[in-house]
Amino acid sequence: MDAFQGILKFVLNQKTVIGYSFMALLTVGGERLFSLVAFKCPCSTENVVYGLVFLFAPAWVLLILGFFLNNRSWRLFTGCCVNPRKIFPRGHSCRFFYVLGQITLSSLVAPTMWLSVALLNGTFYECAMSGTRSPKLLRLICKDKPKECWNELHKVSCGKTSMTSTDSEELKLSLQAQSQILGWFLICSAAFFSLLTTCYARCRSKVSHLQRSFWKTYAQKEKEQLENTLLDYAKKLSERNLKCFFENKRPDVFPLPTFAAWEAASELHSFHQGRQHYSTLHRVVEDGLELSPQEEETTLGLADTAHNV
């Protein structure tokens, strides 16, 4: 039992690394599946569009999914059209761009993995570059190659050129080498940028390393207990309503947070050194609701809208 608990604790402590490793495996598997099953280079003047679509379209879809599946995206944008002060609060107007940058960086992980794996494989890049009509690129690719290279480069991926098999194979290897160089350049750049942003964030941190660890642990435990509490209260409220409906009687008072409290607890958290609040919910519980007149008016308007719905 102790060994199992030790393994479970290790997995929980390393869940970020394990998550990224699992994402990398899925990316490699997905790229191989695309290359073997779906990808068929047309070996025509459409090579450029076809290759670039397979290279960048999945990355774009993964980026959109990253925004869509990130909980902070919805906390940031929910209700922002009704109450713009939620994303541009007084005294923290730049907070929106800071949080949006964090969301964007976390959403870029999967697309970067896809591009890196696709470039290291070289299939998509080879197809795209073989269809280029740019004189500069053709001069670079076909340097020291037969004249047929200028007119038949788009057929290299299919091996249907009039060039010798040796020249054709050299062109394919050259394009794949370029793709792999770009892939490693992207990986090294992403790793360096990740290290740079992490170091900058730690250097600008308002809390110590130990307090940050406590903050992270508290946030995780609060999230787990909040989900359980939401389920528990939703179950109790639904049971009360169903019982009163079928027994045809008036319901008892059921304590729930006010509309303003829901709004305040849904805001993104901003740490202040003067007050040790480790989450928005913690701040609301400790300090209560502190609404400005404009925010009170907006809250009342939202409450009226919710009541009408």
Which tens digit of pLDDT belongs to each residue from 47-61?
A: 899 999 999 999 999
Calculate ∠ Cα 58-62-67, nearest 5°.
150
3-class secondary-structure state, position 140: helix
Share of the chain above pLDDT 90, in %: 23
How far is residue 256's CA from residue 269's CA, in Å, rounded to a whole number? 22
Average pLDDT over the chain, rounded to an integer: 80
Q: What are phi and psi of 272, to 5 degrees?
A: -120, 130
> What value does the mean pLDDT take over residues 80-108?
79
* Residue burial 4-18, b: 16+ Cβ < 10 Å; e: rest: eeeeeeeeeeeeeee
Between 123 and 302, where is the model more confident? 123
pLDDT at residue 164, rounded to an integer: 78
pLDDT at position 192 over 90: yes
- Six-digit token string for 92: 């923290």
Radius of gyration of the chain (CA): 28
Whether pLDDT at 7 is above 60: no
Q: Is 157 exposed, middle or buried (0-12, 13-18, 19+ CB in 10 A)?
A: buried
The pLDDT assigned to 154 comes to 79
Question: What does the block give as tokens for 46?
Answer: 């459409």
Within 141-285, strands assigned E span none
pTM of the model: 0.77
Which residue reads 């340097």 in tokens? 143
| pLDDT value at 139 more than 80 | yes
